[in-house]
Structure 1
Amino acid sequence: MGMSVTISAAGAQDAENILKLQYLCYQSEAELYGDYTIEPLTQSLDDLRADLSGGHCLVARLGDEVIASVRGRIDESGTARIGKLMVHPRMRRHGLGGRLLDAIETHFAQDPAARRFQLFTGGRSDSNLRLYRSRGYAPVTTSAEGTRLELVTMEKPATSGTYVASA
């Protein structure tokens, strides 16, 4: 019998596993842009712990293994800033990223202060852009990060609800 993937809030005890997963997952982004100094690859464990304590983080587990994660926080303007959506390379293309994105949106949508969801990705990260567009996000700005990386910021209103699959 196979194990099923569960999604739950991350705890402080998950920080090391999230950091290891982050380092693994962002290798492909670094390769795509030819830049191995991107923040997800240089973030320290202490910085990650600070991120986790200042916002909300979800993890997906297969048994005891953390195989995916996403985090975010609501800022003073009512923007739920979602970031670091990552799925272990062997688990990609099975809908897990979409499930995590839906779950964190659902979490933040319960907060009356939430007015919009916002995230960003690299302009060449086609699979990320496809996922976010399929969930109702639209590009709002682009910005250059160094000479090789263009970031696309995308958002949607929090009142639009989360993505619901139809048959």
Structure 2
Amino acid sequence: MGMSVTISPAREDDAERILKLQFLCYQSEAELYGDYSIEPLTQTLEALRAELASGSVLVARLGDEVVGSVRGSVEDDGSAVIGKLIVHPRMQGHGLGGRLLRTLEDLLAEQGRAKRYRLFTGHRSETNLRLYRKLGYEAVSREQVSNRLSLITLEKIAPAPTEPTNLVTSA
């Protein structure tokens, strides 16, 4: 019998595992754009620990292994900025990224702080763009970062707060 993947808030002792997974997952993005100096590949453990302390960070676990993560924080204007949605390559294509994103959206909505969700991805990241559009995000802007990269910002309106969701989910 196989194990199920659970989603829960990240713990402080998850930082190293998240950082290692992030480094693995962003290799394909770096290759796609020919840029290995992107922030997810150069982020320090200290910077990640600061994100854990200041924002909402979720992890997906298969047993004790961290196989996915996503981060979010709400700005003063009510925009929930979501970033670094990562899923281990062997776990991709099974809906885990969507589950992580929806769980984070629900968490931020429950807290009653988020008016809209905002995230971004590169213009060549078709898999990411497909997922975000499937989940209701729409492109609101495009910024030319370099001759190889344009960042597409996507948003969707947050629903009104509802009853709290069970923060630990499994499938």
TM-score above 0.5? yes
- Match in the other structure for 1:164: none
Contact residue 109 and residue 160 of structure 2 kept, 8 A: no
- Match in the other structure for 1:22: 22
Q: What amino acid does structure 2 have at the position aligned with 1:153?
A: T
- RCO higher in 1 or 2 (8 Å CA, sep ≥ 6)? 2
- Match in the other structure for 1:98: 98
- Match in the other structure for 1:165: none
- Match in the other structure for 1:81: 81
Corresponding position: 1:12 with 2:33: no
Structure 1 residue 112: Cα displacement: 2.1
Structure 1, residues 15-63: CA drift from partner, whole Å, max 9, x if none?
0000000000000000000000000000000011111111000000011
Which whole-Å CA distance do the structure 1 matches of 2:160 and 2:131 have between them?
A: 16
Q: What amino acid does structure 2 have at the position aligned with 1:109?
A: A
Unaligned runs of 5+ in 2: 162-171
Which whole-Å CA distance do the structure 1 matches of 2:157 and 2:92 have between them?
A: 27
Which whole-Å CA distance do the structure 1 matches of 2:13 and 2:118 have between them?
A: 27
- Match in the other structure for 2:107: 107
Structure 1, residues 93-113: CA drift from partner, whole Å, max 9, x if none?
000000001100000111222
Once the two structures are superposed, the pairs formed by residues 15-164 of structure 1 within 5 Å of their partners are 15-159=15-159
Q: What amino acid does structure 1 have at the position aligned with 2:8?
A: S
| Greater mean alpha carbon deviation, residues 24-33 or residues 44-53 | 44-53
Q: What amino acid does structure 1 have at the position aligned with 2:118?
A: Q
- Using the size of structure 1 for normalisation, the TM-score is 0.94
CA pair 22-97 structure 1, distance change in 2 beyond 3 A: same
Q: Specify the SS of the correspondent of 2:159.
A: helix
